[in-house]
Amino acid sequence: MRFDDLPRKRPEELRSHQWYGTDGLRSFSHRARTRQLGYLPEEHLGKPVIAILNTWSDINPCHVHLRDRAQAVKRGVWQAGGFPLEFPVSTLSETFQKPTPMLYRNLLAMETEELLRSYPVDGAVLMGGCDKTTPALLMGAASVDLPTVFVPAGPMLPGHWRNEVLGSGTDMWKYWDDKRAGLIGDCEMAELENGLARSPGHCMTMGTASTLTAAAEALGVTVPGASSIPAVDSGHDRMAARAGLTIVEQVHKGRVLSEILTAEAFEDAVTTVLGLGGSTNAVIHLIAMAGRAGVRLTLDDFDRIARTVPVLANVRPGGRTYLMEDFHFAGGLPGFLSRIPDLLHLDRPTVSCDTLREQLAGAQVHQDDVIRPRDNPVASEGGVAVLRGNLCPDGAVIKHIAAEPHLLKHTGPAVVFDDYRTMQRTVNDPELGITADSVLVLRGSGPKGGPGMPEYGMLPIPDHLLRQGVRDMVRISDARMSGTSYGACVLHVAPESYVGGPLALVRTGDSITLDVEARTLHLHVDDEELQRRRAAWTPPPTRYERGYGALYNEQITQADTGCDFAFLARPGKVADPYAG
Ligand code: FES
Ligand code: MG
């Protein structure tokens, strides 16, 4: 591509012109301060100003390479005649931030939105990948609606231990269970500590990070093939430079984010997530992202689309075998999408091409066991089912392809835990009489109750059952589950118990039926008894009387509507920073 041939916006057509190019004291001051930054007038005046929002931090191992990678983005921006400015933004490190980075997704979305709005920015490059960073950055950017390109952080290299290939997360749970079952000891665990995550980059399973960056690529906001490039591959540098070139082109074309984030794009992102056997967290995040783009996306859309999409990605934990590096060399997302063109909207634009069809031209699969052909799928239906019933009037989800099949239709007695700490303390107590047929119920773990809907949903199997070889049980909660987790875990029960959803009324010993094929979750307690229990229920005390937590508690919406803040999700006028 020859960037010299691009149509160019005249300087006065750029948003940043208001800051730099007009007559008057303010522009003079901004130019003087840019000299203070060390830039010549010809380095920036009249050029598109590109904000690079970088979630790099010393605490975030998934993004630790992004400080360097921003330099590659800048190279691309300069090459195309733009002026890059890097903005450090809040990092959301899935591993370290407590109680859960989900509590802060909307805070990063707010920061993104307000930074882009209040500074002289013509276009944005968003750098993220660890779970919540992708939706947070895109939600904020969608609310500002400038030309935008997303640079996914890329998966880390496959883990290794002795002769095993390890998936971060997925194998952490597995070997922790093995340790609890007495199958391995401290020496093995020390070795595993070195091998589970062995390079910068986000989790290299088809966990939440890989699912969401793939969704971003399917939406059309990354350069083609970006999402699966391993974080430490030189190709990741080249992708970042390409993103820099692309954003300048987008600014000159005037192609804003809302032209990319259409209803068709979100349908294709849902199709992608389901066909990859991706994380259940994507349900919440895509609904929230769509909301910011003015697109109505519901749980029912997921269930409808799931019935039409086979799971083709044989990547752990939904698939059983491969990791993201294998997926990348098998053809990556372009290869995957080339297997399902009939299920996509091919005439919509992306940041790189006028149509998705053009973007996918020539895409191929190079390894049929990693990205399966349609006649040999990992599962014949999409990986996530939406459940309804008297226990979840506003819905719940289950990643049924990651569960033992015999549990997908199951009736058993509930064993109820009021909160996570109680569950941790008591789940191994033989007095509870938990058997493999029991249905473990955890409440107090939803958007408000968690708070932040922590990834508690894969409740631990009690030790005595592990020793008997039990590896899966039906578990129900208003929590989320890590994208690297697995099991017959019913998640995102809405409304949550903290606000008085029916989950608050379940008692130990009540019978519950899960029927995935019928898409139902039923509590066998009659309505009159439930009314009596409701009358006796008292709301839990407020946890936050001030600060961000108080704002969160006041504004957070339920899982079925994406857990955005009500005041951010609603449409409405926002004053232009220069118009007042
Ligand atoms: Fe960052 Fe898994 S911990 S993606
Ligand atoms: Mg995760």
Phi-psi region of 432 (alpha: psi -120 to 50; beta: other; left: phi over 0): alpha
Q: How far apart are CA 466 and CA 24, in angstroms?
A: 73
Secondary structure (3-state) at 60: coil
Answer whether 262's CB lies under 8 Å from 295's CB: yes
Beta strands in 323-429 (DSSP E): 385-387, 396-398, 409-417
**62 ligand 1 Cβ < 6 A:** yes
Answer whether 224's CB lies under 8 Å from 260's CB: no
Q: Tell me which residue of 123, 153, 279, 285 sits closest to 219, measured CA to CA.
A: 285
pLDDT reported for residue 16? 97
**95 ligand 1 Cβ < 6 A:** yes
pLDDT reported for residue 181? 85
Q: How many alpha carbons lie under 13 Å from residue 564 in its C-beta half-sphere?
A: 26
Sign of torsion over alpha carbons 354, 142, 80, 252? positive
Q: Quickly list DSSP for 540-551.
A: PPPS-SSHHHHH
Sign of torsion over alpha carbons 208, 214, 216, 219? negative
Answer whether 333's CB lies under 8 Å from 227's CB: yes
**379 ligand 1 Cβ < 6 A:** no
Task: Write out the two tokens for 262.
Answer: 């259409």
Sign of torsion over alpha carbons 265, 270, 271, 275? positive
Residue burial 475-494, b: 16+ Cβ < 10 Å; e: rest: bbbbbbbbbbbbbbbbbbbb
**386 ligand 1 Cβ < 6 A:** no
Ligand that lies nearest to the alpha carbon of residue 59, given by its number in the listed order: 1
Answer whether 414's CB lies under 8 Å from 441's CB: yes
**256 ligand 1 Cβ < 6 A:** no
Is pTM beyond 0.90? Reply is: yes
Q: Which ipTM value was assigned to this complex?
A: 0.91
- Give ∠ CA 479-387-133 in degrees, rounded to 5: 40
Bond from prior residue into 99 cis (ω within 30 degrees of 0) = yes
Report the nearest-CA residue for atom 3 of ligand 1: 94
Full pLDDT tens readout for the chain, 580 residues? 555 677 899 999 999 999 999 989 999 999 999 999 999 999 999 999 999 999 999 999 999 999 999 999 999 999 999 999 999 999 999 999 999 999 999 999 999 999 999 999 999 999 999 999 999 999 999 999 999 999 999 999 999 999 899 988 778 888 988 898 889 999 999 999 999 999 999 999 999 999 999 999 999 999 999 999 999 999 999 999 999 999 999 999 999 999 999 999 999 999 999 999 999 999 999 999 999 999 999 999 999 999 999 999 999 887 878 999 999 999 999 999 999 999 999 999 999 999 999 999 999 999 999 999 999 999 998 889 999 999 999 999 999 988 999 999 999 999 999 999 999 999 999 999 999 999 999 999 999 999 999 999 999 999 999 999 999 999 999 999 987 778 999 999 999 999 999 999 999 999 999 999 999 999 999 999 999 999 999 999 888 999 999 999 999 999 999 999 999 999 999 998 887 4
Beta strands in 112-158 (DSSP E): 123-128, 148-152
Report the nearest-CA residue for atom 2 of ligand 1: 203
Q: How many CB atoms lie within 10 A of CB 141?
A: 31
C-alpha separations of 311 from 59, 277, 278, 380, 381 in Å: 34, 6, 9, 6, 6
Closest ligand 1 atom to 62 CA: 1
CA of residue 432 to ligand 2 center, whole Å: 30
Closest ligand 1 atom to 94 CA: 3
Q: How many CB atoms lie within 10 A of CB 157?
A: 18
pLDDT reported for residue 2? 55
Q: How far apart are CA 269 and CA 3, in angstroms?
A: 30
Phi-psi region of 444 (alpha: psi -120 to 50; beta: other; left: phi over 0): left
**209 ligand 1 Cβ < 6 A:** yes
**130 ligand 1 Cβ < 6 A:** yes
CA of residue 132 to ligand 1 center, whole Å: 9
